[in-house]
Structure 1
Amino acid sequence: MHKFRLLFLLCFVVLSAPLVHAQSGDTVVIRNNEEDTYVDSSSGTDATTVDVSTSDESYGSDSDTVYTIAEPGANDLTPVAARPLSKEELREARNDDDFWYWDYKEQKKKPRQERRSQSYEKQQWSIPSWLFWLLVIAGFLVLLHFVLLSMNINVFARSGVSVEVPADSEPVEDIFNRDYDKEVARALAAQDYRLAIRLRYLQLLRELSDRNIIQYRAGATNGVYVSQLWGSAYYTDFFRATRTFEYAWYGMLPVTEPAYLRMQEDIAHLKTRFA
């Protein structure tokens, strides 16, 4: 008797297995206006189908409405067709808060563009700034040069070259007690135009000092006297005479008679400005 019960229980379990397996499938619900029918999808299909047929009197519709929902299965390889969006729909979607990542991407691009514009502005400003500081430095050097000239310091003056002076000539350091016409005539007779130009220049310094046009100081450079005449009516002619004298006396090139005559013309033109 006990063995018979065990055999009966085993047969019951074996026969009830298909029924348990059938409950794992989806259920198709069909609703009509009179009754609900539940159909068990024991066919093994994974899709879920809901067919609802209703007749709602509140809407005044005589026709039944059927809704069908079908979910694709795991093995469904049907391609999905993308629905294109119009420009207005795309703009509305971008302005929607749900699509915040689009605005974040645009905001991330802006700093890079701003950095480029700032670097371009700095590059444009660097050229005027560089030119400005160059002009400031140049102006400072020019001002320093004139200050040094006023202190009897000429950094651009050439060092004097020792030249043999004839024994019968008087010391060249004394410019006030000399007969320049006699010494110039002697130098021209010897065709020593270099010495003749120097004597004429010393004679010019004496005349300018006697007229209180310059302040002569023994040992002062020629640049000191040029700076003293800066801005006056004598500056241009005296500058030319000084340049001719320095080229002739300190230069190593031979001095000819035309150079002496040019020196004479500059001095004569300067003397026409004496009151």
Structure 2
Amino acid sequence: MALRPNPTLRQRRLGTELRRMREQADLGGSQLARMLGISPGQMTQMETAKIGVSPERLRTVASACNCANGPLIDALARVAAERGKGWWEEYRGILTTDFLEVAELEAHATRLTFCNTTYMPGLFQTSAYAAAVFARIFPPLSPQEVDTRTAFRIRRQEIVRSGSTPVRAFIHEAALRMQFGGPTVLVNQLGALLGDSERPGISVRAVPFAVDTFPGAGENLCFAEGSVPELDTIEMDVSQGALFFDSPADLAKHRAIFSRLDSTALSGEESREFIRSIMKEMEAANA
């Protein structure tokens, strides 16, 4: 069996969950391999997603590890059975892998929650705003690279427009005021954000400077909920790209962070009024 040169995010997560299952059973890789009748090398390749695992083999592993979490096993079996490719694969070799993995994560999530302190969540950005965000990268991108990244980001927004996946966004006032592309671009972006906030399945919550505390760190985050809680994933935007976290400790920490945000952010209607006030302020300042 040929080894996968570039396992996808979902394939790697499946391997990670197999390893966690084995470790929770206090089994070594060689020990579990003997129980399954495979080589230790094959066991390692399964856990690193270098080779695939069938739903039947996955259930055999779960049984050998005495895993009794039926919903998790069923969810992992569905991942193991996946064979199709997503639309983002068209961009493989054109964009860096982290772009593709963010789209893959969003496409399979059952709910998305964003926390943004620097710029608008990508799923709500207008074309002009997104292009301005990419244009500020250093060293500068070529116009063609900016256009490609912008087009990819806009295509990702189909998940919002379709209403198939519930989306929550906690957006700090700093992100609401940051002028990527200038005041006109920002005013149009805020207007588009207001429109999105009225869509079914979308919640936009503002966090003003006046809030006494801002829970969590200052990174731009996405919490993507899986089909079961064990398959939730955190994605963090950094200057080098995207980082992904899925350890139980990280997931518990960020669930608590978003719970605190939910209790401190403005309500949906209060947030719309707050965003409108910023728009009016920007329009008056640049009249």
- The TM-score by the shorter chain falls in which range? under 0.3
Mark the structure with the bigger radius of gyration: 1
| TM-score, normalization by structure 2 | 0.22
- Give the number of the structure whose residues are more often strand, by fraction: 2
Structure with more contact order per residue of length (Cα contacts < 8 Å, sep ≥ 6):
2
